[in-house]
Structure 1
Amino acid sequence: MSDLVFIGFPTEEKAEEVRQKVLSLQREYLIELGDAVVVVKNDKGQIKLNQLVNLTTRGAASGALWGTLIGAIFLMPLVGTALGAASGALGGKLSDVGIKDDFMKDAASVLQPGTAGLFLLVRKMTTDKVLADLKGVGGELLQTSFDETKEAALREALSAAQAEIVAAPAAAS
């Protein structure tokens, strides 16, 4: 069973930085993700999803390849390429893997304009090691399907950065 995590960040760059950090943890086999999407709410309130994989582009490329091969059989490779690319792009646009786009757009409505968020669909994770690596990255936990103990530990790890920032000016006085 997968868990969903939605973390808010002040900037798109910070959300992307944390996504890259989580993806590096996946390469170390500490976490297994089903999806990792950065969502941005611009100053006009419009929501943009930055997916890991652009299914439309992938579908168009795959369709063009198959269309060319099938078109070559019928001695019409250019027609086959065009039809294959169009049908592949349409199929890619209509398919949705991972977290549903409509759900992310609805959930992202809580973001302030000019901020960003990170959706993570977590299949498995080594909780203690992942939380230790995420300690101090900042962000605010907006929504999660974790149990209460994991959610509290994640909130603590994320807020560790804010506590360090607040403590630093006090120590300098």
Structure 2
Amino acid sequence: MSDLLVIEFPSEEKAEEVRQKLLGMQKDYLIELGDAVIAVKQPNGHVKLNQLFSTTAVGAAGGAFWGTLIGFIFLMPLVGTAIGAASGALSGKLTDFGIDDNFMRDASSSLQSGNAALFLLIKKMTTDKVLEDLKGVGGKVLRTSFDNEKEAELQKALADASTAAQAQIPAQAPSI
């Protein structure tokens, strides 16, 4: 069973930085993500979703391949490519997997303009190591399917941003 986690950040750049950090942890097999989407509240009130990859582009590429193949059979590969790409793009646009887009838009509507939310669908996680790597990144937990204890640990790790920043600043010697 997967867990859902939504973390709010003050900017899209900060949310992207944390998403890249989590994708790096996935390469080290510390976490397995089913989906990782950034939602940004625009000044006009609309919510922009930044998916990991575009299902429309994947559908268009697959459709173009099969359209070309079928086009060769009827001696019209260019027509087949165009029709295949168009139908593949349409089916890709209508396909949704991972976290529901409508849910993400609804949950992000409460964000302040310019803020971003990182939506994570976590399949597996080595909790202690992931929380250690997330120490000091900032952010605020908006929603989660974690139990209360794990949620409190996560919020504490995210909130340790001020502690981590102070640890990196060397103490200055008094001037004479």
Q: Report the TM-score, using the length of structure 1 for normalisation.
A: 0.94
Listed as ranges, the matches of 1:100-119 within 5 Å are 100-119=100-119
SS at match of 1:34: strand
After the TM superposition, which segments of 4 or more aligned residues of structure 1 sit over 6 Å from their partners? 166-169
> What's the counterpart of residue 37 of structure 2?
37
CA contact (8 A) 2:30 2:130 kept: yes
> What's the counterpart of residue 125 of structure 1?
125
> What's the counterpart of residue 14 of structure 2?
14
Q: Deviations over 1:59-84 (max 9, x none)?
A: 00110011001010111111111110
Shift of 1:105: 0.3
> What's the counterpart of residue 52 of structure 1?
52
Shift of 1:166: 8.2
One-letter amino acid matched to 1:62? G
Tell me: CA distance 1:9–1:150, structure 2 relative to 1, closer, same or farther (3 Å): same
Shift of 1:108: 0.5
Using the alignment, how far apart are the partners of 2:116 and 2:10 within structure 1?
6
> What's the counterpart of residue 85 of structure 1?
85
Using the alignment, how far apart are the partners of 1:159 and 1:96 within structure 2?
33
SS at match of 1:97: coil
More helix per residue? 1
Using the alignment, how far apart are the partners of 2:25 and 2:132 within structure 1?
11
Using the alignment, how far apart are the partners of 2:28 and 2:168 within structure 1?
32
One-letter amino acid matched to 1:93? K
Using the alignment, how far apart are the partners of 1:152 and 1:163 within structure 2?
17
One-letter amino acid matched to 1:121? L
> What's the counterpart of residue 76 of structure 1?
76
> What's the counterpart of residue 140 of structure 1?
140
Tell me: CA distance 1:115–1:102, structure 2 relative to 1, closer, same or farther (3 Å): same
Q: Report the TM-score, using the length of structure 2 for normalisation.
A: 0.92
Identity of aligned residues (%): 67
- Segments of 5+ residues of structure 1 without an aligned counterpart are none
One-letter amino acid matched to 1:30? L
Shift of 1:95: 0.5
One-letter amino acid matched to 2:131? L
Shift of 1:164: 4.9
CA contact (8 A) 2:67 2:80 kept: yes
SS at match of 1:58: helix
Shift of 1:162: 3.6
Using the alignment, how far apart are the partners of 1:163 and 1:65 within structure 2?
53
Using the alignment, how far apart are the partners of 1:6 and 1:163 within structure 2?
23
Q: CA RMSD in A?
A: 1.8
